[in-house]
Structure 1
């Protein structure tokens, strides 16, 4: 029987290795949206123009990203 060697590749789920931590790139990457868009999101949400979910769909990001922009939490976890 021939020797067979399989190289195990990490499983990825949502950009994070399963059982692992965020890559260095992801932890040090800049904001997902430019500052002018972030200002617009804060203004429109404060004025009651749109919901958090509507903003997330419009900017193609998750609701948690919009929540962090509105409430001033860091863009990426520490």
Structure 2
């Protein structure tokens, strides 16, 4: 599953996209809240999935604190 949409209110949606696993093997996700119609939320989810696929999302390549200090 690449993305998921969940209704939070009458015109509020939570979109969630899978980023992959971190160094410890835990699954990582990115979540956003979209206000508007379901169709708008689906469009935003598609953009988010493309963003993750292209590696433009910062959480797509998580660093440990030690790796950050080494940089």
If the TM-score is normalised by the length of the shorter chain, which range does it land in? under 0.3
The structure where strand makes up a greater share of residues is 2
Return the TM-score normalized by structure 2. Answer: 0.22
Q: Name whichever structure is richer in helix by fraction.
A: 1
Structure with max Cα Rg: 1
TM-score (ref. length: structure 1): 0.21
Tell me which of the two structures has the higher relative contact order, counting C-alpha pairs closer than 8 angstroms and 6 or more residues apart. Answer: 2
